[in-house]
Every structure is written in structure tokens, then in C-alpha cells.
Amino acid sequence: MKCADIEKRLSAYIENDIPSHERLIVEEHLKSCPHCSKSLADLRKAIKRVKSVEEMEPPAWLTQKIMAKVKEEAAPKKGILRWLLYPLHIKLPLEIAATITIVIASVYIYHVGKPELKLAEAPMQDIAGQTLLKEKEEVQREVADKDVSAPSPLPLPEKSEKRIKAKPAAKEPQKSVPMKRPEVAESKSLEMPPSPVHRDEKDKIGLSRVSAGKAALKQETSAPEANVQSFVAEKRRDVTVITLKVQNRESAEQEIERVLSKLQARIIKTEYPGNQTIISARLDAKKIKELIAQLKQVGEVKEKDGLPEAYEGDREISIQIETISAPVQ
Amino acid sequence: MGTNEQIASDEDHELVSLCKNGDIAAFEALVKKYQKKVFNIAFRMIGNYDDACEVAQDTFVSAYRSIKQFKGMSKFSTWLHTIAVNLSKNRRRQLGTRQYHEQFSLNDPLATEEGRINVETASADPDPPERLEQKETQQKIQDCINRLDDEFREVLILRDIQGFSYEEISSMLNIAEGTVKSRLFRAREEIKQLLRKILGEL
């Protein structure tokens, strides 16, 4: 065996991992070959050097850090298990919260939308028409009072003063404008429910309307549609409207006033728009049925709003008296 | 060696069973038992203290994840060390083109081993200059190991530093025992040359 072959076996020889006959050959060779002996010695030294490297001490925090990661690894599995086993623990509050939110939102929307809904159902045409007719009537009455011999109810000197920049030439067309208004008012009030702004204005407008026809005329130029809308809304909300068809309006008026005083009702006002008489009064809600029964003896009764069953205490009623025959005017 | 024999001979069999049932304390016992060896395999194979720390952590986390798949075909320790060897090889590959000996500038290892030295010197500090010289020699040897080809370095570390049997190394590296022997011979020859070159003597 040559030195090269011997050197190849030295590693195994050191490890004692060599067949016994080869071992003998190697040992024999080593005795006579200083080169191979040196190789063996060097190999032993090299291995000794390698083995001499000290074991390194891992950092003291290593265990902790490993265990933290391992626990992290274990934690989400527990979470998933809990989810699978007790899904309601997490889901139920969410479901409840969602349900409560929906219920609250529904109730809120219902309450907010209520007036609009009612308004949409209301028989708007008649009321709106009446309102404007009433306005016109008032103007005409005023004219009749002041100048009986005037060829036309319009123009009115006082009125033209109040109307801003009103020209005599424009007065004739103006006559027809209020006639058209009911349609406009009707469509507007159906399309656009009264806004809060209208509501705020409402009281003021209503007052001026009651106090003077002149004021109403002024309003007419500024925002008639809004006035009608708010007036209608007012009637819708608080007033029970009863329409009464009679043969003779004046005698009916007297009869109704008598009935109302008998029922301890307080007459607020009596208006004469167009060919109607409107008596507004406050009456105990419980007596409304009785009133209607009495009214049926005077003429043909139509209840526009039905009876407010839920009402307690006083209730405003508006009795609209119409003649059955063609308008006198 | 049969499977049953293997399980019976595995000293960690009980702890491993507990771990499979989710006993974290049992796993911690295994961590404490093997972390030093795992860390040292990683350190010798990668040659960098910080990377060795990370690989040691990854090894145990990986073992925890797959302990239910551990069937006891080998000893738990062999299985664990195989994970460490593979992760170390991966880490070394990731570090790739970097020159390992460059990481062993005087600052780096001194700083990282400071903690260890301090612990030892606290108990006994017989000869600081000698200790420093020894430390330098250690560093040079590690440098030589780092310069070996991967296939030679791993067998040398596992056999001559960690003292695993041929059979265990064969199992860990998934190579035949004969290959382990021949690689070991080549590895020793090469380290001999390197040591002579770097240390000036053997």
C-alpha cells in the first residue's frame, strides 16, 4: 500500500472504523514511514483543535423568547377553538347591537316622516282651494265695503299702495293669478312637504292672516304657496274638519253657533271664504260625536278627517258650511 | 433498529407525549434541555451569534408546530437537531454571498461573547492574557470551519464538535453512512490545511 492509500485510511483509523486486516497494514506502514506518521499526528492535532472549540453559552433570554413564541403559536389555536365551540359569545352582542340599531333607526325615521306621510294622504285640493278662495273673498269684501259703486272689484287703491311696484296695467292680469294659485299650491304641497322653516313661519303667518286681510294680501305677493302649505299643514295637524252642506247658510250658521254654545265650545272665529262659511271652535274631544249628531239635523255632514279617537281634552274643529245650490256670487 | 426499540430507547418519549397533548410546560423542559446544543449547532454552522439565536428560536417553534407529526422513527433529539441543521443551512444560504470571515472582525464576536466571558470571569479569572489568546485561537478555528465547503463543514461540526454518531449524521443529513465517512475524511484534510495556514502550526 502506498502512502496516499494509507493517508486515505487515517481518518477511519483514528475513528477505529476500519477492518482489522487493514488496520494491521496501516500500523505496519506507520512504523516505517515518517511522512505518514506525521500526517497521522497532524490529523490528530487538527481534530483536537476542532474539538477544542468551546461550547457557546446561548443568551439567558433564549428560553423565554422561545417559550413566548411557542405560546403565541398556541394562543390563536385556542382562539379558533373558542370561536368554533362558542360562536355566540362573540356574535350575540353584535347581533343584538345590530337589531337595536335597526329598531331605533326605524322608530326615528317613522316619527320624523309622520307629518309628511299624513300630508301626502290628506285631501289637499279642497283645503288649499278654500284658503286661496278665502283670500280672494276678503279682498273683494274690502273693495265692496270701501267703494260700492266701483265698476270692478279690482284695482283697489289701498291694495296697490301695499303692493310693491304694482303698476295699474298689471292689475288686470293679477286678477287671474290668484285664481290659478290653488292648482299650484296643490301640486307643490304634494311634492314638497312643509319644511321646518315653513313651520317656524307658520304661527306668524297664521296670526297675520286672522288679524287682517290686508296682511294676507301682502303675504300673497311674497310667498303665497308657502302660506297655503303651512296653513294646510296647520289644519291637518290640529283641526277636525267637518263639512256641512245646507240649504240656507245664514240660518245654518246661527243653528251651529247655538249647538256649539250648548256643547260648551268656544268659537274662535268665523270666516267667509268664497261661497263657504267656516266656523272654527275649540271643543272637548269627547263631545265631537255629539256635535256631529247635532249637525246632521242641520244639514248633510261629511267628516274629512274621521274622528280623532285618541284625542284627550280640547280639540279644534272647523265646520265648513256650504250651500247645496249654486254659489250666490 | 426497530421503531419500538427506538421509542423505548428515547429518553424524551414521555415529555414528547405530553407535548403532543398540548403540555407547554413539557415543551419548555425540552427547550431547556436542548437549547444549548441546538444553539451551538447553529452557531458553528452559521458562524454568527445573532443568526444562531434566531435559528435556535425558529428550530423550537418549528418543532412545536410539527411535534404531532413526530412519529418516533428516530430519537427526539436527532429529529430536533435535524431541524436545527436544516434551518442553519437555509440561513447560511440566505446570507449567501456575504463573506463569513468578514463578520468575525474583532468587534463582532468579542461583543457577542462578552456576556459569556463575564459569567466565567465572575467565578474564576485565573489568567486574563492567556484567556484572550485562547479566545483568539478559538476565533481562528471558527474562521477555518467557516471557510470549509458546506458539505464538509456540516459533517465536521456534527462529528468532531457535536460528537454525533455516523448513523445520526447520516440520518440528519439524509446521506449514506459511507458518504458521511468520506466527507469527514475530506473535511479533516481540508481543515488541517486551513489550520496550518491560519494558525501557523497545528
Hey, where are the domains in chain B?
1-98
> Are B161 and A57 in contact (CB < 8 Å)?
no
Give dist(CA A52, CA B133) in Å, integer. 14
> Are A67 and B31 in contact (CB < 8 Å)?
yes
Higher-confidence residue: B109 or A300?
A300
Residue type, B91: R
Give the percent of chain A with pLDDT over 70: 53
Look at the block and give the residue holding cell 485510511.
Answer: A9
Per-residue pLDDT band at B9 (split at 50, 70, 90): confident
Distance of CA A81 to the CA centre of its chain: 42
Look at the block and give the residue holding cell 492509500.
Answer: A5
The Cα of B63 is separated from the nearest Cα of chain A by a number of Å equal to: 10
Mean pLDDT on B177-195: 93
Which residues sit opposite A283 in a β-bridge? A315
Q: Taking each helix axis from N to C terminus, what angle separates B177-199 and A3-14, rounded to the nearest 10 degrees?
A: 100
The Cα of B93 is separated from the nearest Cα of chain A by a number of Å equal to: 22
**Residue in A45, A66, A72, A77 to test binding to B, most B beta-carbons within 10 Å:** A66
Among candidates A50, A69, A74 on the partner chain, residue whose Cβ is nearest the Cβ of B57: A69
Question: What CATH architecture does domain B1-98 belong to?
Answer: Orthogonal Bundle (1.10)
Q: Answer whether residue B44 shows pLDDT above 90.
A: yes
H-only helix segments in chain A:
3-14, 20-32, 34-52, 62-85, 87-121, 124-146, 157-162, 168-191, 196-211, 213-222, 224-238, 249-262, 288-298
* Residue B40 touches chain A, beta carbons under 8 Å: yes
Among candidates A49, A52, A56 on the partner chain, residue whose Cβ is nearest the Cβ of B39: A56
- For residue A42, which residues of chain B lie inside 8 Å, CB to CB? 192, 196, 202
Residue A166 has a pLDDT of 44
- For residue B141, which residues of chain A lie inside 8 Å, CB to CB? 49-50, 52-53
Integer angstrom CA distances of residue A90 from A78, A85, B22: 14, 11, 25
* Residue A74 touches chain B, beta carbons under 8 Å: yes
Give dist(CA A112, CA A109) in Å, integer. 5
* Cis before A155? omega within 30: yes
> Are B28 and A57 in contact (CB < 8 Å)?
no
Widest CA span of chain A, in angstroms?
A: 163
Classify A77 as helix, strand or coil: helix
Query: In chain B, which residue's Cα lies nearest the Cα of A55?
Result: B40
ipTM: 0.79
The Cα of B191 is separated from the nearest Cα of chain A by a number of Å equal to: 7
> Are B39 and A58 in contact (CB < 8 Å)?
yes
Per-residue pLDDT band at B1 (split at 50, 70, 90): very low
Mean pLDDT on B53-70: 94
Residue A84 has a pLDDT of 60
Classify A312 as helix, strand or coil: coil
> Are A50 and B156 in contact (CB < 8 Å)?
yes
Query: Counting beta carbons within 10 angstroms of the beta carbon of residue B182, is it exposed (0 to 12), middle (13 to 18) or buried (19 or more)?
Result: middle
C-alpha cell of residue A173: 292680469
